[in-house]
Structure 1
Amino acid sequence: MHYKFSTGQQYRQNGFSLIELVIGMLVLSIAMVMLTSMFFPQADRSVESLYRMRSAELAHSVMNEIWGKRYDQNTNPNGGVPACNAPSGLPCSTVLGPNGEPRDEYNDIDDYHGLDINDLMLNSSETYADVYRNFKLNVTVEYVDAATQAAKLITVTVTTPSNEDITYQAVRSNY
């Protein structure tokens, strides 16, 4: 808009028209809808990724400990022959789980059957449950084929704080 004063000077009025204000509010509302529907939920997804990464660390740590033990109570602790169920060896254990030894003396992989996060010591004063708060862990060990007893399936199930169960498995053969 231009106004003309009696002195011959023109004056231009600055500001927004009603149409410009409505269009600006429309654009702003569309931007807010996009932010709330696309970008803000990413924060929740990033927490889930962190939980999954921490569950993998926990499972890997436990699996490494288990993997370092011998196959069976009746397998030679120094390796070599005879392995359990070998022609000149003892039969493999039929009952899987601890053989009466305390947790720090587990010596074969099936001793870990039934283990949970509260049984795992990280060091002399701290458990895994202290470090991995609100995580749950369960270990199962079973024969892949109960008839041959040639391999054991180790399953580590980690439950994240958001109640997502993530399963990690490994097969250990009798060698």
Structure 2
Amino acid sequence: MPARNTAGRQHGFTLIEGILAIVIMAMAMVMLVSFLFPQTEQSAVPHYQARAAAIGQAAMNEILARKFDEQSDPFNDSVIRCGEASYTCTPPALLGGDGSELISNLLNVGAADDVDDFTGCWGTSAQCAGSGLTRLGNLQDLVKVSVADESDYRNIWLEVQVGYELDAFDGAATTVTAQKRIRVLVKTTRYGDYLFTAFRSNY
């Protein structure tokens, strides 16, 4: 019995079909790179937002636990406010950590006794290099973080600024007033900066 000619039944990709398949795959890869992959990176934003909120609140609690000014309640058992009984409040230009509270230009948090002592950058030397504020220590020096959690905060640092505030709370004051504004800026590299603000009154 003669063999059948099956040459006409054999099919494969033609050159044009192969080129078309490559073009379609290239378009699919462009879509993945342009839309899907960036969304994967954005999924880290809620993680950093939650960490920033926790760090910002913890730092603010640590700062607000201190008194209004270095000259407030000078004997630790009185109710004297600075500005009363000849105890002059610290001038705006002199706000910041005092000599006895600094060790090698870093703040001894345990010795800090008023809110403006914390004015500065809290992070590694590399993180604070681009800051206009003086580095006062590592983030862990200000906010106690367990060893297990330290890796979660390695890309986070703080900038703390404390200054006198106008009576209407509508801007920074250039003279001594009855309140200070505390600004804690939590920086998270490319995942955004988060600002926390509080006021401490002279009471």
Once the two structures are TM-superposed, the CA of residue 89 in structure 1 deviates from its matched residue by 4.7
Matched residue, 1:110: 116
Q: Which residue pairs with 1:139 in the alignment?
A: 160
Q: Is the 8 A contact 1:72 1:109 kept in 2?
A: yes
Mapping 1:155-174, distance limit 5 Å: 155-162=183-190, 164-174=192-202
Deviation at 1:35, TM superposition (A): 8.3
1:71 matched to which residue of 2?
68
- Over aligned residue pairs, what C-alpha RMSD do you find? 4.2
Aligned match of 2:51 in 34, 54, 69?
54
Sequence identity percentage: 33
Q: Output the CA distance in 1 between the equivalents of 2:182 and 2:71.
A: 18
How many residue pairs get aligned? The number is 167
TM-score (norm 2): 0.59
Shift of 1:73: 0.7
> Which whole-Å deviations, capped at 9, do the CAs of 1:59-92 have from their partners, x for residues lacking one?
111000001111111111446x321113x25111
Q: What is the rounded CA distance, in whole Å, between the counterparts of 1:51 and 1:97 in structure 2?
A: 29
Give, in whole Å, the separation in 2 of the partners of 1:39 and 1:163.
Answer: 18
Q: Report which of the two has the higher share of helix.
A: 2
- Secondary structure at the counterpart of residue 50 of structure 1: helix
Of the two structures, which has the highest relative contact order with CA contacts closer than 8 Å and spacing of 6 or more?
2
Q: Tell me the distance in 2 between the aligned counterparts of 1:123 and 1:40.
A: 35
Alpha-carbon distance in structure 2 between the residues aligned to 1:169 and 1:105: 23
- The aligned residue for residue 20 of structure 1 is none
**How far apart, CA to CA, are the structure 2 residues paired with 1:37 and 1:123?**
40
Q: Which runs of 5+ in 1 are unaligned?
A: 1-31
Q: Which runs of 5+ in 2 are unaligned?
A: 1-28, 102-107, 124-136, 166-172
Q: Deviations over 1:113-166 (max 9, x none)?
A: 11413432555986x965511112111111113334211111111111325222
CA contact (8 A) 1:83 1:89 kept: no
Partner of 1:154: 182
TM-score by length of structure 1 reads 0.68
Which residue identity lines up with residue 103 of structure 1 in the other structure?
V
Cα distance in 2 for partners of 1:50, 1:137 equals 17
> Deviation at 1:50?
1.2
User: Structure 2 CA distance, aligned partners of 1:50 and 1:152?
Assistant: 31
Match in the other structure for 1:16: none
- Helix, strand or coil at the partner of 1:162: helix
